[in-house]
Amino acid sequence: MAWNGVLGGVCLSVAFETARDAATQPLRDRCFNDERKHKPQEVIPACSELLLEKTSLGGWSRADVFLVRGIAHADLGRPKAAIADYTAALRLQPNYPEAYYDRALAYEQTGKMSAALRDYGSAISQNSKDADSYFRRGLIYLNTRSFDEAISDFTRSHDLDPKDEWPLANRGLAYAWKKDTVHAKQDFAAVRAIDPQNRVLVHGEGLLLLLANDLNAAVDHFSKALTRDPSDAWSLQMRADAYQRMGDLTNAREDRAELLQLLKKQAKPLEDNLSAVRLVPASSI
């Protein structure tokens, strides 16, 4: 009789938890948004409410909830809030390469490149087959003119995902900055076979002309690039540098004035376009 009483209590408890679990299913659906039906504005409050609930998350963890809410904040252009959630996820689950990767992206958006480098490194140490982390870390190295490190990361990224031309294009650009023309041309040829209009390829081939001091050809190259895409700030900067080195100060000033207006209009970093190199003065070439 006593056993029947205990069993009855257990059954009631299970039924109660099952009911609670069913009640929170809509919250889980909105938070984890597997079918991408919900906007970030709907995801965030659903995840927040789940974090307050003391019930099953249906196979998910609290760290997962923080990660998903962080991604929603990032989608809304709130990198600081996203970083806070990714950090909370990592406190609960230190072995979480996705959280390191997403926090690195958010650190990039806030200009904290050293922190982004560390997080990409952590993501890679926990998942050595993460081609994206190698690629993104390579971009930071390229932007900071750490060309050997960039080449190493782009090589690893390409090895992991041979069909992606972007690591090859950016590796070619790193080789070009190192004035390693042979390897740069090899990478650019491989990219051209995949996508002749790849923006980094266009930049890299123009850079080779500039570094070879073939200034007229460089101006012509960047002018064609700007005809195809007038918003290409990198090509505008490089054409201005070529004009200046030619002694054509009038055209150099006009290009730089146009560049300032373009950057104000774009209001975003150049590397967002995967050009991967910030504006540099002519003296650094």
pLDDT at position 206: 96
Say how far apart CA 87 and CA 238 lie, in whole Å: 39
Say how far apart CA 68 and CA 229 lie, in whole Å: 36
Q: Is the pLDDT at 50 greater than 70, yes or no?
A: yes
Domains and CATH numbers, the chain: 20-127 (1.25.40.10), 129-285 (1.25.40.10)
Phi, psi (degrees; rounded to nearest 5) at 101 = -65, -50
Rounded to the nearest angstrom, the gap between the alpha carbon of residue 282 and the centroid of all alpha carbons in its chain is 27
- One DSSP character per residue, 225-256 reads HHHH-TT-HHHHHHHHHHHHHHT-HHHHHHHH
pLDDT at position 268: 54
The whole-chain average pLDDT of the chain stands at 86
pLDDT digits (tens, 9 = 90+) for 210-245: 999 999 999 999 999 999 999 999 999 999 999 999
Classify 58 in phi/psi space as left (phi over 0), alpha (psi -120 to 50) or beta: left
Residue whose pair of structure tokens reads 């932007």 in the numeric block: 143
pLDDT at position 276: 45
Q: Is the pLDDT at 12 greater than 70, yes or no?
A: no
Which whole number is the average pLDDT over 171-176?
97
Least confident of 12-16, 55-59, 234-238, 261-265: 12-16
pLDDT digits (tens, 9 = 90+) for 17-42: 444 566 678 888 888 877 678 899 99
- Residue 167, judged by CB atoms within 10 A of its CB (0-12, 13-18, 19+), counts as buried
Q: Is the pLDDT at 11 greater than 80, yes or no?
A: no
pLDDT digits (tens, 9 = 90+) for 121-164: 999 999 999 999 999 999 999 999 999 999 999 999 999 999 99
pLDDT digits (tens, 9 = 90+) for 256-266: 999 999 998 87
Say how far apart CA 215 and CA 17 lie, in whole Å: 74
- One DSSP character per residue, 97-156 reads HHHHHHHHHHHHHTT-HHHHHHHHHHHHHH-TT-HHHHHHHHHHHHHTT-HHHHHHHHHH
CA gyration radius for the chain?
25
pLDDT at position 4: 42
pLDDT at position 17: 44
